[in-house]
Structures are given as structure tokens and as C-alpha cells.
Amino acid sequence: MKALILSFAFSTIFLTSCNADSPKNQVTKSDQSQKTEVAKPNETPAQSEVSIKGIVDAYIKVKNALAKDNDKLAASGGKELVNAIQNFNKSALTPEQAKTYADIEEDAKEHAEHISTNAGNLKHQREHFETLSQDVYQLVKTFGTSQPLYYDHCPMYNKNKGGYWVSESKAIQNPYLGKSMPTCGVVKEELK
């Protein structure tokens, strides 16, 4: 009986080791590279083809103008932003990216238009900038960025309700309080 059990055990071990080397169980280098490519988080083939740089650049112009209390330059940047949103090439977007962009596009354009048509009214421009900043943040989170960007927060804006914005600089340049409190705020997140 012991001989039968030992014989069965050796047979099982032998068959298992033979099957381990069968082609269906072998992992090739191409299989490993495919697994590695699939494992990259939040990256799509179209992502490298899609650039929101024009939108971000125009938004940064608005942000910097508001930080300097320059309503005319903010209006000019708002106009550039409207054009950048209208001229954005949506043809290379994945379905998920297209949905995110569609959800943001009209809202961002509306707020940029309000900023562009309200030279002389910094308070109104800043109110629209607050919502616009959330839209741009979502775009950057969805499409990524080729440059370092920072997500900043000012706790004192809007009667201490606070406000967020996207910046190209780690140094705080507060677009909500402008020259009255130019460095009020903190970096909450580095966007890549």
C-alpha cells in the first residue's frame, strides 16, 4: 500500500512538473510587456495625442491677470480661453474623455465669456473664475499635463468659504484676493 501511495505521489509530481513547462503555462516576453502596458493607471492610447495646453495657457493668463487685479488683461485672457475651448480638437478623444469634455465644455466656455465681457468688474470676474477653476482642474485630471501644475486653495476667499485654482507656479499668486493678499493660500496638490 505504501508503494502504491508513493508511486501515485511521484506520478503526480512528475505530471505537474511536465505541465508547468507546457506552452500554455509559459509566459513570454511579449505577454509580460502586454501585461505591463495594461497595468499603467489612467493612461489611454489617445491621451498622448490629446493636448489641453491651449486651454490651460489661456486659463493661466486669466489667473495671473486676476492676481494682479488687472481686469482688462483678465478679459483678454477670457476671450483667448473661449477661443481655445471652441477650437479644441475632440477627434482623438476616447469615449470617456469625450464625455468628460462634453460635461465641462459649455460651462467652462460660459464662465470664460463672463470674464471676457466684464472688464471693470473684478468681483464678477473672480466669481466666474472660481467655477472655471473647477472645470480646468477636471480637464487636467482627465487629460494630464505636459508641465508641472499646482492646485491651490485660499481659505479666506468668499467670506472664508475658500476658493481653489490651478497654477503654473508653486509660489502662491492669489487670483481671488489679488494685490490685497497676494500670497494667501497653499498648494493642495501637484498635478502631473
Q: What is the pLDDT of residue 153?
A: 98
Q: pLDDT exceeding 90 applies to what percent of the chain?
A: 72
49-191 has CATH 2.30.29 classification: no
Kindly report the CA angle at 133 between 72 and 168, in degrees rounded to 5? Answer: 80
φ, ψ at 182 (rounded to 5°) = -65, -25
Model pLDDT, residue 50: 75
Neighbour count for residue 181 (Cβ, 10 Å)? 14
Confidence (pLDDT) at 4: 43
Higher pLDDT, 3 or 152: 152
- Per-residue confidence at 129, pLDDT binned at 50, 70, 90? very high
pLDDT band for position 192 (cuts 50, 70, 90): confident
User: What 3-state class would DSSP assign to 165?
Assistant: strand
Each domain of the chain, given as residue ranges in start order, spans: 49-191
Per-residue pLDDT tens over the stretch 143-167:
999 999 999 999 999 999 999 999 9
Position 24 scores a pLDDT of: 41
How far is it, in rounded angstroms, from Cα 139 to Cα 53?
10
Amino acid letter at 72?
A: K
Chain-wide mean pLDDT for the chain?
Answer: 82
The share of the chain scoring above pLDDT 70, in percent, equals 74
- Strand-pair partners of 153: 164, 186
- 132-139 average pLDDT score: 97
Query: What is the per-residue pLDDT across 22-69, written as a single tens digit (0 to 9) for each?
Result: 444 443 433 333 333 333 334 433 344 578 999 999 999 999 999 999
